[in-house]
Structure formats: structure tokens, C-alpha cells
Structure 1
């Protein structure tokens, strides 16, 4: 019976997409598809490990931050269950029933909400960082919140329209809404990451040259590493979003894009958890670098006996001014470091 649906490019892509979101605990088999069939659960398994690591490593974090982490993990877990149900429905319960392939299930339709929810929650977390770095000014964060909310609204609109008659064909009729939702989210990610990088670069210290590794330099090293994490995670979600959009535009009447779309929300959860879990390693790396530079500086200050008196004379003449500068820099550097720690 011909139902007018390309099975390979719709439900075939749907199956591969679900498998991409699943656990990659299966060993290599003869067929490459055995690995691809676990991709969605694999991502969820990684996020579960990251979530566990977060709660073990940062038990003193604010209850709101802990609630955010728990919520986005729960959204992703529910999403995994929602995309598992239609797999069983189409390939087991209705095996051989061609008419069933033309209908969308409630779970399959609702899964889009649980892609949009963790995305919006994580985006607002990074908007909060922008608000903190901008000295609690609402303008930029408010502007960037608009496309984030618009993307969520686009996903909700698609779900509402499809649930009117639960037809698979409805997905191909939501082209404008799908483009709006994905492009808004990806564009927002791009601007959020760029704004964070700009504020972090702006927070760097002025060119004050001090011996050793002073407070300014330690803070700048921390900022440099935070910028790296921001670029790696913030721009990654944006690139992934545009890749999903490009895949959809190439074949809007099929489910080819769904393989990537299933993991769209998990990309945001991953970005959130990577940034939160990286805080301790960032501080430890700065501490290790500080100790290394101090030891190196002490060795470089060892002078021949003949040079000691002239060096002491020069240091005596400059001691008062140097101590004054270092005191001011220490106070300012410590203040910046405290502010940065609070914002991270």
C-alpha cells in the first residue's frame, strides 16, 4: 500500500535520530548502525554523569542553581522517554500497518516542548551572566532575551498546530515556524556568546607591569580560560543550531533533520554543565600556574654577590613607590577576582 511517504527519509531518519540520543554503551559490532543507534541515549548518559559530578563537587551552590541543573536534566530525561514511545509504536505495535505511519503520536509531538524548555533555561542562565558582567544593567540582557523567548514560542506554536489533527504531514507545513524557532535560538546563542566574550575581555586588567605574578595577572589568566570555555560551549550550540536549520532547509518535507534535532536541547544542557563543572579546574590551574611562576621568579632573582649592593640600593630607592603600586593593584585585583568568582 502506497501511503505517499518516503520511509527511508522520514521514519528511517527518525530511528537513527533517536538512537543518536541514546546510550553508547554497546560495543562495536559488524554494522556501523549499531553505534549510531545509541547516540541520543549516549548524550543523556554523559549528561547524567556531568549532573552527578556537579552535585558531588559543588554541594554549597545556591539552591536556585541546583534546581536549574536538576530541571534541565529532568527535561532531557522526559524528552528521551517521549521519543522512545513512537519508536515502539511505529516499529512494534503497528508493524505492517501503513495507515499508522501517517499519524503523529502525542508523545512525538510533545517532544519539541522538551527540546525548547532546557534550551530556554540554559540561555537564561547565560543571560544572567551577561547581566552580572554588565553591572546589573538590563538593556543588553533584555534585548538578547527576545529571540530566546521567540524561539520557545515558535516551538509551542508548532506543537499546538500539529496536535489539532496529529498528522505527520503537518510537520512539512510548518516550514516558516520551524525556521523561525531554530534560527532565533541559534542567533541568540551567537550573540550571547559574543557578549560574554566582550565583557570578559573588557574585564581584563590595564597594562601594569609588576614582578612575579600579581593579582591582576592571576585574574587575567582566569579570564582567558573562561573566554575559552565560553567560545567552546556558546558558539558550539549556535553552530549546531545552524547545522540543524541547514539540514531542515535541504529537505523540509522529511525527517532527515530530526536526527540532529533530537539532541538540540542536550547541547544546551551540556554547555551549562561544562561551564559549571569547569570552575574548580579553572581555579586549580591558576593556582598551579601561580606557584610555577613564583618559583621561576625566585630563581631568576638570584644574583652574583657583586651585584647585591647595587641591587639593594636600587630597590631601597624604589621600595616605597613599588609597595604603594602593589598595594593598590592587590586590592583592585582581589576585588576583580572576587567579582569574577561570584559571576562564574
Structure 2
């Protein structure tokens, strides 16, 4: 019995506690974001960042209620592990919405890089809508069936659960590989002194993309190889917090680029740029900040030096 609890309730409790810690990190990053970027558009501040934080708050409340259900309400009753409280079904919905929100943001970034006919953004959007449909179905059935029998629920909807997980991995890999591809294209056309900046962006994209993709793959493997324990469910509790922290780290990274002493060569001369009229022809759709000025880069346009991050203010 003790061994069974270690691999079920014990593992689940660890996953939920880690998720709670990561929610604290999300909250800290949201605070840092609002402090450093008060001029970003309201859509970014309220719709994306604050909206995502509210989803994470709801998810955290739901999963903590679930562990309370197992460890307090049904203390000493191992049969309780055979069912799932309704809050777990709600957590699945919030989990899916958080993931799709993050993927939608990065898909928009790909759109900013892409040229017509926008095949990659369209493909990524299709994957997101497929996830949304699958998550909605899983959540509705979880509320109805899982409260009666978690085993029956997994037996009936295992195929859809696995489909959802693979769709997420496919979307993550598509997004991260596309961003790296487009950044690498711009690297080949960039001035020598800007290559280091682009390399840094590529490294960040690879690191964040690998983390979410690998966790998704590990989750699938854990489910397929040991579905009788709750290791996969523990990972499932942690994943949305990883997605949220990935997005916020991406957005807050602008501050570190802003404070970096970046020098750009212009017409053979190198040094910090302070003349706002200078432009460098390129199509990179990112924003690179220096301590003195901001390089605002838009799709198909130029590098312009401006004191305000207009791209994020106008999104």
C-alpha cells in the first residue's frame, strides 16, 4: 500500500507543489514585466500577460483543491484515487487555454517574420484549434465521467488525450524551429556587429522551445510506459507553468537587451548609435534594445533607432 501511495498520491503531490512554486515565479515575472514595460499595448498587458496570470491562478487553485480532496477530504481512503474531483476537469480546461495562449503569441511572432502565403502560421493555428477542440472534449468528459471512475475515463478517452499531447508537441516544435529558421535567415543578412544579438535571440528560442517540447515528449512517454502511477499526471500539472514562464521570460528578456552596451557598425564605423535617423536595412521582426536607444525592427522594414519600443506598444 505504501509503495502504491508513493507512486500515485506522493508523485502527484510533488508535481502540484512544484507547480505552486512555478506559479510564484510566474507572478514575479508578471510584476517585473509591468515594472519594466508600462508602455506596452493594453492588449499585451491586460489581454496576454494579466489574462494568462488569471488562468494560472485558476489552475493553481483547482489543482490545490484536488490534492486537498485526496489528502484531507478523503484521508485514508485509497479508493478516492480511482476518481477525480470536478476541479481537475476545470484544471484541464485552464491548462489548455494557457498553452494555446502562449502558442498563439509565438505564432503571431512567426507571422511577423513570414511572407505570404503564411503557410507556417496557418499550420500552427490549425494545430492550436485542434488542441482547443480536443481539450474542450476532454474537459467536458472529465467533469461527467472522471468523478465516477478515473480508470474508465482514461480507457475511453486515452486516444484523445494522447492526440492532444502530440498536437502540443507538434505545435511547439513547429513554432520553435520556425523562429530559429527565420532568425538564422536574418543572421546571414545582418551586419557583423548585430550577429551577436541575433545569435542570442536564436539561443533563447532554442532553449525555451526545447524545454516545452521535451517536457511534452517525456509526459507522453511517462503515460505510455507507466500509466498506472501518477508521474504523467504530475508532469501534466507542471506544464502550463512552464509555458507561462517561457512566454514571460521571452518578453522580459527585452530588458537585458536594453541594458546591454550594444554597438552597431554603420558605414564602416562602430559605436553606440544615438542618431535616430539612421536605419539599417533588414527584415528582422524583433526588438533589440540598447542602454541609449531602441532598435525597432518590423517585418519587411528597417532597423530604426527609437527611444520607445513601438512594436510592443502598438501590438
Above 0.5 in TM-score?
Answer: yes
Match of 2:18 in 1: 20
Deviations 1:273-313 (A, max 9, x none): 0110001211332xx14299xxx979xxxxxxxxxxxxxxx
Give unmatched runs, 5+ long, in structure 1. 22-40, 208-215, 299-329
Match of 1:45 in 2: 24
1:105 deviation in Å? 0.9
1:334–1:252 distance in 2 versus 1, CA, 3 Å: closer
SS of residue paired to 1:332: strand
User: How many Å separate the matches in 1 of 2:154 and 2:230?
Assistant: 9
Alignment of 1:1-344 (within 5 A): 6-21=4-19, 41-66=20-45, 67-135=47-115, 137-165=117-145, 166=147, 167-173=149-155, 174-204=157-187, 206=189, 216-285=191-260, 288-290=261-263, 331-333=279-281, 337-340=295-298
The normalised TM-score by structure 2 is: 0.80
- Which range moves more in the overlay, 125-134 or 153-162? 153-162
The 2-side partners of 1:206 and 1:99 are apart by 63
Once the 2 structures are TM-superposed, how far is the Cα of residue 138 of structure 1 from its aligned partner?
Answer: 3.1
TM-score, length basis structure 1: 0.73
Distance 1:136 1:63, change over 3 A: farther
**Residues 333 and 100 (structure 1 numbering): CA distance in 2 closer, same or farther, change over 3 Å?**
same
Given that 2:138 and 2:161 are in contact with CA atoms closer than 8 Å, whether structure 1 keeps it comes out as yes
Does the 8 A contact of 2:26 with 2:244 survive in 1?
Answer: yes
RMSD between aligned alpha carbons?
2.8
Give the Cα separation in 2 of the matches to 1:13 and 1:282.
Answer: 39
- Aligned residue pairs, count: 279
Tell me the CA shift for residue 193 of structure 1: 0.5
Shift of 1:132: 0.5
Conserved 8 A contact 1:162-1:170: no
Paired with 1:335 and 1:231, the residues of 2 have a C-alpha distance of: 20
Change beyond 3 A, Cα 1:162–1:205: closer
Q: 1:225 to 1:105 in 2, by over 3 A?
A: same
- Relative to structure 1, the CA distance from residue 238 to residue 99 in structure 2 (aligned partners, 3 Å threshold; closer, same or farther) is closer
C-alpha distance in 1 between matches for 2:8 and 2:171: 29
Structure whose residues are more often strand by fraction = 2
**3-state SS in 2 of match to 1:111:** helix
**CA 1:289/1:83 → structure 2, altered by over 3 Å: closer, same or farther?**
same
- Displacement of 1:18: 1.2
Distance 2:194 2:57 in 1: 38
TM superposition shift of 1:339: 2.1
Please list the CA deviations of residues 12-65 of structure 1 after superposition, one character each: whole Å capped at 9, or x if unmatched.
Answer: 3222221221xxxxxxxxxxxxxxxxxxx1111111100100001000001111
CA distance in 1 between partners of 2:253 and 2:135 (Å): 31
* Alignment gaps of 5+ in structure 2: 272-277, 285-294, 299-308
SS in 1 for 2:187: coil
1:235 CA displacement: 2.1
